Amino acid sequence: MTQDARVQDFVASFEVLRAEVEKVIVGHREIINHVLIGMFAGGHVLLEGVPGLGKTLLIKTLAEGLELSFSRIQFTPDLMPADIIGTNIIVEDADGRKHFQFQQGPIFAHILLADEINRATPKTQSALLEGMQESAVTVGGVSRPLPGPFFVLATQNPIEMEGTYPLPEAQLDRFLFKLRVRYPALEELNAIIDRTTQAHPVTVDRVMSGARVMAFRELIREVPIAAHVRDLASTVIMATHPAWEHAPEVARRFIRYGASPRGAQALVLGSKVRALAEGRFNVSVDDLRALAAPALRHRIILNFEGEAEGIDIDVLIGQIVESAEAATVQGKEPFLR
């Protein structure tokens, strides 16, 4: 298969999978796109939104559209790490001899839905850390690989803060994207009512296997990125650091800690998927602009002034990207230099 054909195959598969999800999920096209981009980039996605917006349904539908195993963990304050990872239990064999046997936890699935992840204690939340970063878990000194592709989709509610444990920065950084699920528009709400209250429920077809997902992940890493686009991505990340000498004024004023290098990786990798999904063979500046907010919004910590002023992190990121573009050659007329 030629490269062109591989790319066209990816574009078609991406479209088909999205169409299957959109059979159930009304609206949220951008959210669906970003979830799919996160999955093909090999990252994990955190969805944040008030209850009832279809976060869990979106993930379940995506799992139904893929020929992959799926498990769901409802995070609660009394959930223990062993409830996620699994534990050694004593079993008796045919000869009557007892020995320990590892009982796999729900993390051993291709797609893991961590529902309301911020309701569990940090100890339990951190049980996901190794799995998310290394695609393996260690129990009793033995490292056990997780099945590939391994994709964690977590949800959290931004308004019910009572009895929750906000995710630590180290764990937030493990998520490729943080997506904000917003309330649907009026037309979308009407469509939701029509679709969910009819007699015949919508069925979702399985359209993609795990092997194909893995193959697409390899293809995505081949997408070239020009030096000036890569420079822009690096400049955006650096510009989120208030201590950087060329940081824009908004960053100096409102940001306490900037994005990590993982943020740059997420930005570029996500941009590659987006480019390929649009049938393009290269990363463009537009890709960076489109994915800057989901890739960086959970990696930037506002300072007191930023919190007090009620600064919208997405607006702030937009301003940082603009200033980074102006600072790099991208924003200047070449003949004036």
Partner 1 sequence: MAHPETLDRLVRRVAAQVRRRRIEHYALRGAFWASLVAVLALLFKQPLGGWALIVAVAALAVGTLGGALWGAVRRTPTADAARLADRAWQLEDRVATALEWAERPDRTPIVDALVADTVARVEQLEARMAARRVIPSDGRLLPIPLALALALALAPALPLPSGRLPDFSASGSEDPIEPRADATLMEDRAKPLAKDKLKSPAFEERDFATRAGGSGGAMAGDLSAIFKDTNLSSQRPDFQSFLKKGDDRLKLLEQADRLPDLQSDFTASQYKMVYRKSKSLTSGLRPDQISPQKLKELLEEMERLGRKGGANWQGDAAEGMEAMEGGQTDRAMEAMQRALDKMRAQDEASRSGKNLKGGRESNRSGIGRDRRGGDGGGPEDQDFGEGEGLLPGKGRSGSPKGEATGRLRASPYDVGVEGESRRGRKEGYDTNLTGKGGQMGSRLQYLGVIGQYRKMMEDAIARESVPRDFHSQIKDYFQALDER
- Residue 9 found at the interface with partner 1 (CB under 8 A): no
The correct pick among 224, 246, 309, 312 for binding partner 1 (CB under 8 A) is: 224
The correct pick among 165, 284, 314, 322 for binding partner 1 (CB under 8 A) is: 284
> b vs e for 284-306, b when ≥16 Cβ sit within 10 Å of the residue's Cβ?
bbebbbbbbbbbbbbbbbbbeeb
**In sequence order, what DSSP letters do the residues of 11-75 get, joined into one string?**
HHHHHHHHHHHHHHS-S-HHHHHHHHHHHHHT--EEEE--TTSSHHHHHHHHHHHEES-EEEEE-
- Torsional class of 76: left (φ above 0), alpha (ψ -120 to 50), beta (otherwise): beta
Nearest alpha carbon to residue 89 among 104, 105, 101: 101
- Residue 172 found at the interface with partner 1 (CB under 8 A): no
Angle at 294 between CA 328 and CA 314, to 5 degrees: 70
The correct pick among 183, 281, 309, 315 for binding partner 1 (CB under 8 A) is: 281
- Residue 308 found at the interface with partner 1 (CB under 8 A): yes
Nearest alpha carbon to residue 39 among 181, 136, 169, 148: 148
- Residue 188 found at the interface with partner 1 (CB under 8 A): no
Q: How far is the CB of 226 from partner 1 (least distance, A)?
A: 4
Q: List the interface residues with partner 1, window 49-108 (CB under 8 A).
A: none
- Residue 234 found at the interface with partner 1 (CB under 8 A): no
- Residue 280 found at the interface with partner 1 (CB under 8 A): yes
- Residue 229 found at the interface with partner 1 (CB under 8 A): yes
- Tell me the window of 103-111, 123-131, 146-154, 275-283 that interacts with partner 1 (CB under 8 A): 275-283
- Tell me the window of 2-10, 70-78, 128-136, 142-150 that interacts with partner 1 (CB under 8 A): 2-10
Which residues of this chain interact with partner 1, rule CB under 8 A?
2-4, 6-7, 166, 219, 222-229, 256, 280-286, 301, 304, 307-308, 329-330, 333-337
